[in-house]
Amino acid sequence: MSSTTHMALVLGDQLDLENPALQALRVFETPPSSAGLVIMLESLGEAQVVWNHKARIALFLSAMRHFHLTLQQAGYAVLYQTLAQSTHHGLAHDLSQYIQAHKISHLHLTCPGDYRILLEVQAICKQLAVTLIVYEDSHFLCAQPDFTRWAAKKNTLRMEFFYREMRKRYRVLLDEKGQPEGGQWNYDAENRQGFPKAGPGLIPEPQWFSPDMITQKVFDEVNARFANHPGDLTAFRWPVTRNQALEALAIFIKHRLPQFGLYQDAMWTDIPFAWHALLSSSLNLHLLHPLEVIQQVEQAWKKGDVSLASAEGFIRQILGWREFIRGVYWLDMPKMAKANYYNHQRALPVWFWTAKTKMVCMQQTIGQTLRYGYAHHIQRLMVTGNFALLAELLPQQVASWYLAVYVDAVEWVELPNVAGMALFANGGRFTSKPYIASGAYIKRMSNYCQGCSYNPTQRSGKTACPITVLYWYFLHRHELAMAANPRTALMAKNLSRIPADERFSIMETAQGLLENLDHL
């Protein structure tokens, strides 16, 4: 083993036998009959870069340990560092110890999902005079150079136009003439309804998986080493292997996809998953390839099992938004991580870690986040994200929270969605407006407002919904900019109709809320 000079580093979100670094290792390895030396590192430092949810740590560790077995079965020689062997100095430091111990001359790495990791590995290799070979991640359908070329031709970056090009490239939901099936590219108008007043009715359960012995051991270690971290593991049932992820995909398509499009934005108390796929963690760990997911969903539509609107709405999230967001991340780092367009500076309220607030919408969204490590896209964007923007929270603290608490969070997907989409921190680099709404939106899309201490229609006073108050205060502060934007001009016009004395009451109430965010 000591004579090996080529090594492939497999990160915790690259658990795929088609990983380009693994494939390259076979070419460089001597003798050719050997599969080569692979290194995987469990890292105490990585688990504490942010205050990680226990379920997020457990998911990564369990999936890594299962993939370690897969690599061994495929014939790879694997150096696997467990938490017990890790130092507190971080992944790159631990990596350097193995590079020196095994006299590695060439390190093969598929592009990480985190800009920081790439910089740290580059620095270690430079320091040790090791040749680092970084490969484009074949798990994505748009290579970064292709996205960069596409973006260079655009005055503004908009996902919709990128999505159409990706549909054409992969011939997804196109007729024999190359036109979109049904004559439309986008079926949003037929999707995104709230649940009926009587409630969501019976919703088939997602496919869950009982923790095996490997996962149970991970639980014991996480509870021992990260006892003070948020969340718990009692509800952990996430897929941790490729076979489990494939099973979860099949069950979703058969039982939940038919109603996904219609109710993908709907929220309801004590209904944490609704009709959602819960496949993002499997996609982001590379247990599933996006193209196989897209093709199976398209096939379900062709067989008549799901509507075109539901199939298109789901495919757009993967082939459109997911690929687009990843492209923007690498295009705009590292400045994206520092962006703060509105210069917001307020600290994250303490109840973001406890769910102990009188706002039922936040109780529900954060409560289920702490229990499962999950909330769906509207809960993230229009509940916690909307509040964070209106409450003038420091974008970097908000981004760290999102990275910490969701099991599917990897920085390439988390940061652009938070800084760019939810918080408008990059000033509209790839969005045409701030995504803000009053409590009326939450009332329309959920039953959260029923029985809440706050009134979503009230704009000032002690019982006024904080989201409603802060929405109007935000419009007041940014009235000129909102009026000049065609997509927000109506909001500004509605603000102009409010009498001066009521505006003053809104400002007074809002300022009181902002000074007491921990006590809402």
Cβ(456)–Cβ(439) below 8 Å: yes
Convert the pLDDT of each residue in 254-282 to its tens digit.
Answer: 999 999 999 999 999 999 999 999 999 99
Convert the pLDDT of each residue in 445-488 to its tens digit.
Answer: 999 999 899 999 999 999 999 999 999 999 999 999 999 999 99
pLDDT at 36: 64
Convert the pLDDT of each residue in 382-441 to its tens digit.
Answer: 999 999 999 999 999 999 999 999 999 999 999 999 999 999 999 999 999 999 999 999
Q: Residue 32: pLDDT above 50?
A: no
Cα distance between residue 160 and residue 504, in whole Å: 40
Cα distance between residue 377 and residue 263, in whole Å: 12
| Strand arrangement of the beta sheet that strand 131-135 belongs to | 77-81, 37-41, 6-9, 106-110, 131-135
Q: How confident is the prediction for the chain on average, in pLDDT?
A: 94
DSSP notation for 461-511:
STTB-HHHHHHHHHHHHTHHHHHHSTTTHHHHHHHHTS-HHHHHHHHHHHH
DSSP state of 383: I
DSSP notation for 90-110:
-HHHHHHHHHHHTT-SEEEEE
Check whether the bond before 230 is cis (ω within 30° of 0).
no
pLDDT at 88: 82
Task: Give CA angle at 484 (479, 489), nearest 5°.
Answer: 70
pTM of the model: 0.95
Convert the pLDDT of each residue in 189-242 to its tens digit.
Answer: 888 889 999 999 999 999 999 999 999 999 999 999 999 999 999 999 999 999
pLDDT at 192: 81
Average pLDDT value for residue range 309-331 = 97
CA distances from 360 to 269, 270, 439 (A): 9, 11, 11
Buried b (16+ CB within 10 A) or exposed e, 233-246: beebbbbbbbebbb
pLDDT at 31: 47
| Residue 341: Cβ within 10 Å count | 15
pLDDT band of residue 2 (cuts 50, 70, 90) is: very low
Which helix (H) or strand (E) segment is 306 a member of? none
pLDDT at 28: 60
| Residue 3: Cβ within 10 Å count | 7
Cβ(59)–Cβ(407) below 8 Å: yes
Convert the pLDDT of each residue in 120-166 to its tens digit.
Answer: 999 999 999 999 999 999 999 999 999 999 999 998 999 999 999 99
Q: Residue 33: pLDDT above 50?
A: no
DSSP state of 212: -
pLDDT at 3: 56
